[in-house]
Structure 1
Amino acid sequence: MDEKKTETVTFDADRRTPKYALKDLWIEFSQSTGLHAVDKIKRPSKSPFRIRGLLWILAMCSTSAFLVYNLVGEIGNYNSYPTVTKVTPKIQNSIEFPAVTICNRCTLNKSRLDVYPDMMNYFFNTSILRMKGISFSAPTSDVFQEPLSLEWWKNMSMEGSKMLSQCVFQGDIFDCMTMFRPVHTKEGLCHTFNFNFSEMVKVWTAGEEANLVLSFNINQNDYTFRKNMAAGIKVLLHDPRVHPDASSTVVMAAPGFSTFVAMQKFLYMYQPHPYTAFDDMECVDTTSAQFVNPLKYYSYYTYNHCLMECVQMKAFSECGCIGPSDPQDGPRCSLAKQDSCYKPFVRSMSKDGTIVKECGCVSECTFDRYPAQVSSSSFPANIWDNTFLNITRARDKGSMKDNFLELRVFYDQMIVTSITQQPQYTVASLFSNVGGQMGLCLGASILTVMEITELLVFIILFLCDKCRGRKARNRINTW
């Protein structure tokens, strides 16, 4: 009797609990989801699909395929790290003034070299004969064979105090040698204004009268033979932290002229890894707290400093000596060693396209440049000839025209142009594009994705119940 009651209760319970199939899960999802066109598809049954349902299925499959295609493209673009360049000119109240390096086109002083016999003949031979491709035997005198110190090069060079006649900055006359620092370069001994980053000068106004104005005497009477046959000065504009040999803007000024150098400041800021800064090259963020300068002899990292140091170290390994402007320690080359080994090796390195890969130099992400427009006029005007003769104490007007020049270096406008590389895709823009594609194709959103995810979870649980031999439960309504 009790067994019959138990069977009856079980039968009644099974009859009260409706059967729950996979199609019920789909029906409940299609009636509640925000995904477009799902409710237009006929519910699963034994009867065949109608034409309307088939068309809606075809439309959903087509738009879903189009969505997947677009999403793959969006993610591919994001992983390629594309960038856009933004150019922003900005007017500023003050602008940092660049370092200005002045090099006489002949840095060696003939009157000082006269103490060495055959010195003039040696420089003549190394200059004119090299142009014709003719070799000659170097003199055997000690001065040509022994290493030469920086002090020797300094003593044999043109004096800055005799070349710089008058210096004016922002309308104030100053003692030239207190603001110009002697610097050894590949040109020889030069003099640099504002070559100290800790005390970098600024300007508050633009124009030819407001910035740097120099009167210069090139002293052609003291010129000696050099491969460069020009007379005048070479002007280098560069960052105060950068060695003059690594500068980018070069201007020539001739005697008998007033040369105007109207410059601008461009600040370049590129994105570090994983972005590419220069088409297919990466840059290194030298402003990062984690950056460690890999250079041994240059305290400030730049691409040109890196390349210069690499070539100098290779030249030292090849020749066993260093050049006059090289910062590393070691014996400096003699005159004969310079012409027979050091200079030819450096020239060959400059022609070698593989040197950049061998040195492994990477450009810095942030740097500035000072492009300039150059113009000139005759100096001095005829009406000032007599007055200028008295001031300079030149022998005559011809000598004055052959030796004296005026240089004006100035900002033409108080504007700094920033050229900034920015990521084209961010996480926010990626989600925005993906959301737009989903909304366009399926009318879906992030919440719709969560609905689909929930459906998949319920399907898995449904199949798990079936595998365990349990009756599938309606979790959509019961959870």
Structure 2
Amino acid sequence: MAEKIEKDGVFDMSTNSCGWLKYIFGKRISIPRRVMWAGVFIFGNYFAFFHIWRIGNRYYEYPHSIKDRAKIEGHSFPVITVCLNSMHSRKKLMNLHPELGIQPRGNEIKDNCSLWDFYGHNHDGLTHDLSLFDHIHLDNFYNETYSAFLMISCKYKKDDCTKWWKRTLTLYGNCQVLDLAAMPNRASISPDGFRSLQMVLAYNQSDWTYGWNSFMDGFSIFYNPEGETVLDPMRSITVNSRIVPIMFLQQHRNIKLGEPYTECTRNRSLQYFKPYSKYNCNYECLIKEVYKRCKCRVPYFPKTTEYQVCMYHEHTRCVAHILKEFMYSDCHCPVPCSELFYKKTVYYTEMHQNFRNKTAEMLKRFPDIALASVRISLPENYEMQHQEQADYEISQLFSDVGGAMSLILGISLVSFLELCELLWASSRMGWSYRKKIATKSRRSFQRVGPAMFDLAKSVKGTVGILTHLDSSTDSKESIIDKKVIVYTPSTDRWNKKATSGRSS
């Protein structure tokens, strides 16, 4: 092939081209046949690249779908937190902090609004000089004035759980959290069997005051996945003396692919909470905003030595307004790539008449006491997983590209590489040949000289020009046999030939 290129100066597509391309670029091909195959080539390229463009757009849309499956392992009963909607005891406030202006029951309309505004409300009765209450230390304020309630009955499966609650301070005041790990009967916390929690709670209606839930009666019962301590009203139910909710929970888990299909995080850590969750992240964002704007901390936030406890007026004027008006959408908190959550189904009923009869005598002696009952069940012993799956992966993209190229053009990966090699070889050989011709022309021009070159072109016949003169022995007048370049004006070509004797 190299010899043919050096001789002709062209790459013979008839013998060296890839497949049917020789019918377009080869020699001795009839014009109709060349036009027909050129049309096939143009149409095939249009068809192939149009479909490649379409499937490329589809791939970069990153389509995905959800596949559901049930997994037996990994299901667990949620963390149950019981909070009384009255965050402070009216009697304790009257005894410990009379300066707040809390009145006895029946005269609530004359209450000073300082406590209500402490939780983000604005009233005309707001005490303007809130520094009068700054002597109230908020840590002691929450610990000494919280409203107590009584756990009359608690059953988890068949075991008594009345003693396995621990008090914790939250955004909604002092609450009780069920600690299943502390139960002595380890079979109770086994995931096998029907898991149900039944509670009967008693609270004093005459001891009611304000809180984040204003005058809402009864309890708020929160359910969280293990590890989440943030109490969200969207994951709670309300329980009071008038209704008995029966809540069925089902454990679910979202498993996401991550970038570029969906935005999620795998190993993100938080400063105040472990493990990571969207709720914990949003709450931490709220905490940092309070620290940034108010320059103090509140007792129901995670403890830190960086800031001092807020004073009463700081909580009322700054913290409460942030908690009421904070926009969680301003926080960058992507969902975790594996997110556990519970779906709830709630039914409502009334207390059984037998239970009412048993408690009637007690309620007569304590008319201010109200009873509330609830049942929380996790009947299914499996976890529903919703796993994202890519609908169009890179392997399918390669397969479709190959199909689009092969359907009309008949191009495969092997033929494509062969074509690339062919183009590279032809361009390389052609460039080498042009470089060789240019080098020969430059050398001939240097040997003949510009003056003799012009003289040869001016002669009308066939003229021989001496190409080699030995300055030491030869002269222009005595010329012997030499190789000359012959210029023929009729053909306008230069040829080499040997001549003998003297040229004239």
* Fold equivalence (TM over 0.5): yes
Q: What's the CA shift string for 1:286-310, capped at 9, x where partnerless? A: 2xxxx5x2x3222333333233223
C-alpha contact 2:209 2:215 (8 A) present in aligned 1: no
Which range moved further: 447-456 or 87-96?
A: 87-96
In the alignment, which residue of structure 2 is the partner of 1:8?
Answer: none
Q: SS of the counterpart of 1:285?
A: coil
Whether 1:433 and 2:400 are equivalent positions in the alignment is yes
C-alpha contact 1:203 1:211 (8 A) present in aligned 2: no
Q: What's the CA shift string for 1:76-103, capped at 9, x where partnerless? A: 444x361413131305266211111111
Letter in 1 for 2:146: S
- Find the aligned partners of 1:114 and 1:92 in 2 and give their Cα distance: 54
C-alpha contact 1:196 1:240 (8 A) present in aligned 2: no
In the alignment, which residue of structure 1 is the partner of 2:422?
Answer: 455
- Find the aligned partners of 2:349 and 2:365 in 1 and give their Cα distance: 20
Q: Which one of the candidate residues 187, 199, 214 is aligned to 2:199? A: 214
Q: Which one of the candidate residues 134, 150, 155 is aligned to 2:139? A: 150
Q: Which one of the candidate residues 267, 270, 277 is aligned to 2:253? A: 267
Letter in 1 for 2:143: K
Which range moved further: 413-422 or 18-27?
A: 18-27
C-alpha contact 1:234 1:252 (8 A) present in aligned 2: yes
Correspondence list, 1:348-363, <5 A: 348-350=325-327, 356-357=329-330, 359-363=331-335
- Find the aligned partners of 1:171 and 1:417 in 2 and give their Cα distance: 26
Change (3 A) 1:383 1:18: closer
Correspondence list, 1:142-221, <5 A: 144-146=133-135, 148-159=137-148, 162-174=149-161, 176-178=162-164, 180-194=165-179, 201=189, 203-206=191-194, 210-221=195-206
Letter in 2 for 1:448: S
Higher RCO, 1 vs 2 (CA within 8 Å, ≥6 residues apart): 1
CA-atom RMSD, angstroms?
3.5
Change (3 A) 1:356 1:258: closer
C-alpha contact 1:94 1:202 (8 A) present in aligned 2: no
Letter in 2 for 1:451: E
- Find the aligned partners of 2:4 and 2:321 in 1 and give their Cα distance: 101
Letter in 2 for 1:173: D
* Equivalences, count: 418
Q: Which one of the candidate residues 279, 289, 308 is aligned to 1:331? A: 308
Q: SS of the counterpart of 2:388?
A: strand
Change (3 A) 1:276 1:406: same
In the alignment, which residue of structure 2 is the partner of 1:477?
Answer: none
In the alignment, which residue of structure 2 is the partner of 1:10?
Answer: none
Correspondence list, 1:65-464, <5 A: 65-78=46-59, 80=60, 82-90=62-70, 92=72, 95-115=75-95, 116-119=97-100, 120-121=102-103, 125-126=113-114, 133-137=123-127, 144-146=133-135, 148-159=137-148, 162-174=149-161, 176-178=162-164, 180-194=165-179, 201=189, 203-206=191-194, 210-226=195-211, 228-246=214-232, 248-273=234-259, 275-277=260-262, 282-286=263-267, 291=268, 293=269, 295-329=270-304, 330-350=307-327, 356-357=329-330, 359-379=331-351, 381-389=352-360, 393-395=362-364, 403-464=370-431
In the alignment, which residue of structure 2 is the partner of 1:49?
Answer: 31
Q: SS of the counterpart of 1:230?
A: coil
What's the offset of the Cα at 1:377?
0.6
- Find the aligned partners of 2:85 and 2:196 in 1 and give their Cα distance: 24
Change (3 A) 1:18 1:185: closer
Larger Rg: 2
Q: SS of the counterpart of 2:245?
A: strand
Change (3 A) 1:19 1:317: closer
Structure 1 residue runs without a partner (length 5+): 1-14, 471-479
Change (3 A) 1:67 1:466: same
- Find the aligned partners of 2:435 and 2:314 in 1 and give their Cα distance: 90
Structure 2 residue runs without a partner (length 5+): 104-109, 438-504
- Find the aligned partners of 2:24 and 2:349 in 1 and give their Cα distance: 89
Letter in 1 for 2:137: L
Letter in 2 for 1:222: D
Q: SS of the counterpart of 1:64?
A: helix
What's the offset of the Cα at 1:148?
2.5
Letter in 1 for 2:316: D
Q: SS of the counterpart of 1:371?
A: strand
C-alpha contact 1:98 1:237 (8 A) present in aligned 2: yes
- Find the aligned partners of 1:252 and 1:17 in 2 and give their Cα distance: 91
C-alpha contact 1:266 1:369 (8 A) present in aligned 2: yes
C-alpha contact 1:265 1:417 (8 A) present in aligned 2: yes
Q: What's the CA shift string for 1:116-152, capped at 9, x where partnerless? A: 314425965247788674242167796x313524354
